[in-house]
Structure 1
Amino acid sequence: MTTVTDRPTAGAPATKATGRRRIPAWLRAVIVVAIGVGLLSLTATLTGQVQLTSRGTTQAAVLLLLPILFAGLGGLWAERAGVINIGLEGMMILGTWGAAWAGYQWGPWAAVVGGLVFGALGGALHAVATVTFNVNHIVSGVAITLLGMGVTKYLSTLLFLPVSQNPRQSPRVDGFETFSVQPVADGLLAVEREQRVLLSDVAGLLGGLISGLTPLIVIGFALVPISYLVLWRTRFGLRLRSCGENPVAAESLGVNVYLHKYIAVIASGALAGLGGAALALNPGQLGYLEGQTGGRGYIGLAAMIFGNWRPGGLLAGSALFGYVDGVQLRAGGEAVHALLYGATVLAVGVALWWAARRNWRGAAVAAIAGVLVYAVYMTIETVPREFAAYAPQLVTLLVLAVASQRLRPPAADGVEYRRGEGD
């Protein structure tokens, strides 16, 4: 005789322990964004650093997050198919050179295509090494990064030096013309200038998101939902992700694992190349400059990990790193110093949250972190330029340390696979 238990049925929106309905993912995202905006508004008001929520800072953040977003999407595609792509940095370097070369010849749209093609070539090389010859994924990625640096340096000396008289820099390329969503952008600017608490902060942040746009920015943000729909809502995406979870089982069901891995890694390189094109078409540079990627390929990989191998989380991570970079470039060490105050408030809030959930260890760690950050904030008046320039990298390390406990990579990510090995 069987008894009926109170367990929720499969797929029911209830937790195991309490039976309470779970908050939908989209609503959680809205809540997190609202908390972030409120925290920035509070920090800007109490510290007087209005640049934290200004339209100019947001525009700079969008331009800076774009290459990180493209690189992170590239990492997402590769790793969902089970291939670790440490070579994103090298593919991005190839993309910057290809975009500058094609853009100088034929204009900004050709630069986009050039970045795609050169990045895809790097991805194809990584696929040959890791998928066909089973080279260690980390070794192959590092080799491609070094190769990308060497190849672009040689090509720059060969093709750019006669024109620009500089082997490390390309001639200036033409960029896209910017546009804004009117008349909404002008209305938000008027509200921002009134300097009302919270209202003007929200207007500044939203105004920066819908003004100073380029086609490449639109493409970048559109690729986030497109990647989600392709990878999670299509038969092709299901098969590709199965290659990253259990390639032997996928093969037994008739999935061509090699083909899907190749497609994913080449697409990964193309997306990283788009990130390079975004750097080459940045209004502040408009061309290739040796070393201009500045480790953004690795930051994109960190954003992907922060986002738990999901497009929405990846966008949030890219926005975080891009915003911090934009603040330090736009407003300098004083604004970064003000962010320490915001970090203190956030740590206190996290401590109270964990205490309410009776997680005393988490609450204690958050409280101690808040005290330390506030001590630094009160000790110094500004963050030195040398440290402010590396603020995005420091945020990367801190965020990954905090998020490490909830990460779930694809089960077969980085695992060598040989066809027929499950027989």
Structure 2
Amino acid sequence: MTTATIAKPQAVRPGKGGRRVSLPVLLLIIAGILVLTSVVRMITGAHGITSTGQMSTALRLAIPIGLAGLGGLWAERAGVINIGLEGMMILGTWFGAWAGYQWGPWTGVVFGVAGGALGAVLHAIATVTFNVNHIVSGVAINILALGTCRYLSKFTFEHAPQGSSKQSPPIESLGSFSVPGLSDWLGTLNAKHWFLVSDVAGLLGGLVTDVSPLTVVAIALVPLSWWVLWRTAFGLRLRSCGENPVAAESLGVNVYTYKYLAVIISGGFAGLGGAFLALVASNVYLDGQTAGRGYIGLAAMIFGNWMPGGLALGAGLFGYTDSLNLRGGITNVHALILLLAILLVFGVAYLAWRKKVVPAVATAAVSALMFAWYLGTNEVPKQVVTATPYIVTLLVLSLSAQHLRMPKANGQPYRKGQGK
């Protein structure tokens, strides 16, 4: 009697790019980029690219993007694509500003979260209960939120002192703080413009200078989300709904409940990002205030491979490029052209080492064009500076597209009992 040996199915790897970068390697890459940035700063004299003010502004601009990305992470880990993050952020800005003007900024934060969650409930009903296409529902939420907030503004802010149909009255600030002693010391080091030391001081100084309490809360939500999703039974069940909802159901998981919870939490995060824009970034509600940050947050989530740590890095990158538009952007962007050209040279070397000839040649050509652009001009047009965050978003997504692995059941319709 022969015994048949049945080979266990091997896990399918998501391609060569599916391998995760270890923490030491990631830290080494970040350190290398920081050294190159310092070299470029010394060559170009664009000291603003690593100044404390630049980093502080970048952090403030990265927070709404990161919160929107966290919202997308929660929803998509449960298998629901949330294109409606932009609309939920819009609801967060309006409800946060309205309640903040009436009853104070912290009440505005609560209402901002509730406003985003309200939009998420509509998205969950459409996608989870009625199996509406996730993209169609998300786009509808964005349009509905924009129209609703403009309509409500005409009845609330238009008749308020210093308000209009497109702007709320000034809202009380949440305040800010700096770490005593450390903030001034890092600012002094940054002002000396020393090689690498001043750049590190500028980076750290931006984290401890003029920081809003809501910024601290937002940063804490990143490791908290990781812990809940990857270290608790609740998170395991939620993620199983995004990988294989039929198998999750067979193990007793109420897939509908977890999908609803994930989407509502997603909307709450996006609403908090919108409230941050209205209560911290500007202390006023403005029509069109989100400026596509919900979509950029979604891009940051994809760049981070649906992981909180990678998402935070992506949000920081997009926040930094966005900050260039506010603080001496023309000079700084010109210096970053040189930095990008040098980074592409390293990319050429890596591709050549991997024996990818065609991509290496194409990257070399782009690098040569970047060097020519830098050497042939002294500054870049204002329009390029304004478009920098969106250009970076497209570049990052195009370069990282082959290195991603989204949840397997993401965006797929689900009906209870469909596996029977």
Flag whether TM exceeds 0.5 (same fold). yes
Classify the secondary structure of the residue corresponding to 1:162.
coil
Letter in 2 for 1:214: S
CA deviation profile, 1:102-153 (whole Å, cap 9, x unmatched): 1111222112111100000001110011000111100100000000001101
Contact 1:328 1:335 (8 Å CA) reproduced? no
Find the partner of 2:289 among 278, 289, 292.
292
Q: Which residue matches 1:220? A: 218
Report the alpha carbon displacement of residue 23 of structure 1 after superposing the two structures with TM. Answer: 9.0
Output aligned runs, 1:268-347, within 5 Å. 268-283=266-281, 285-347=282-344
Aligned equivalents of 1:379, 1:255: Cα separation in 2: 61
CA distance in 2, matches of 1:223, 1:83: 20
Question: What are the within-5 Å matches in structure 2 for residues 223-238 of structure 1?
Answer: 223-238=221-236
The alignment status of 1:53 with 2:69, answered yes or no, reads no
**Separation (CA, whole Å) in 1 of partners of 2:32 and 2:208:** 21
Q: Report the identity percentage.
A: 54
Q: Which of 29, 33, 54 is the matching residue for 2:30? A: 33
Aligned residue number for residue 72 of structure 2: 75
> For residues 194 and 200 of structure 1, what CA distance do their matches in structure 2 show?
7
What is the distance in 2 between the residues matched to 1:265 and 1:383? 41
Aligned to 1:113: 110
Amino acid of the structure 1 residue aligned with 2:178: S
Alignment correspondent of 1:414 = 411
Distance, in Å, in 1 between the alignment partners of 2:35 and 2:180 is 26
Is the partner of 2:170 in helix, strand or coil? coil
- Aligned position for 1:192: 190
Per-residue displacement from partner, 1:210-262 (whole Å, max 9, x unpaired)? 11111111111111111111101111101100100111111111100000000
Residue correspondence of structure 1 range 153-172 to structure 2 within 5 A: 153-163=150-160, 164-172=162-170
Q: 1:24 to 1:332 in 2, by over 3 A?
A: closer
Q: 1:202 aligns with which of 200, 203, 212?
A: 200
TM-score, normalised via structure 1 length: 0.92
* Post-superposition CA distance 1:185-232 (Å, at most 9, x none): 221112112221111111111111111111111111111111111101
Tell me, in whole angstroms, the C-alpha distance in 1 between the residues paired with 2:258 and 2:164: 41
Describe the SS at the equivalent of 2:325: helix
1:89 aligns to what?
86
Deviation, 1:24, is 6.9
Matching residue of 1:249: 247
Per mean C-alpha deviation after superposition, the further-off stretch among 237-246 and 376-385 is 376-385
Runs of 4+ with deviation above 6 angstroms: none
Unaligned runs of 5+ in 2: 1-9
Which deviates further from its counterpart, 113-122 or 345-354? 345-354
CA distance in 2, matches of 1:165, 1:272: 25
Matches of 1:192 and 1:302, distance apart in 2 = 31
**For residues 162-184 of structure 1, what are the alpha-carbon distances to aligned partners after superposition, in whole Å with 9 as ceiling and x for unaligned?**
10441011111011211112222
Instruction: Report matched runs for 1:368-379 at 5 Å.
Output: 368-379=365-376
Quick one: which amino acid aligns to residue 314 of structure 1? L
How far apart, CA to CA, are the structure 1 residues paired with 2:365 and 2:384? 22
The whole-number CA distance in structure 2 between the counterparts of 1:32 and 1:143 is 40
Per the alignment, residue 100 of structure 2 pairs with 103
1:78 is aligned with what amino acid? A
Choose which of 265, 268, 271 in structure 2 pairs with 1:267.
Answer: 265
Show the counterpart of 2:352. 355
- SS of structure 1 residue aligned to 2:409: coil
Q: Output the aligned Cα RMSD.
A: 1.7
With 27-36 and 166-175 compared, the bigger mean Cα shift is at: 27-36
Amino acid at match of 1:356: W
Q: Distance in 2 between matches of 1:35 and 1:114?
A: 42
For residues 401 and 161 of structure 1, what CA distance do their matches in structure 2 show? Answer: 43
Contact in 2 for aligned 1:71/1:88 (Cα 8 Å): yes
Rounded to whole Å, the distance in 1 between the matches of 2:37 and 2:46 is 10
Q: Residue 174 of structure 2 contacts residue 280 of structure 2 at CA under 8 Å; is this kept in 1? A: no
Pairing partner for 2:238 from 229, 237, 240: 240
Distance 1:33 1:183 in 2: 27
Give the Cα–Cα distance (whole angstroms) in 2 for the partners of residues 195 and 105 of structure 1. 45
Using the TM superposition, give the Cα deviation of residue 355 of structure 1 relative to its aligned residue in structure 2, in angstroms: 2.6
Q: So what's the TM-score if we normalise by structure 2? A: 0.93
| Cα contact 2:91–2:271 (8 A) shared by 1 | yes
Q: 1:94 is aligned with what amino acid?
A: L
State the alpha-carbon separation in 1 of the partners of residues 25 and 183 from structure 2: 27
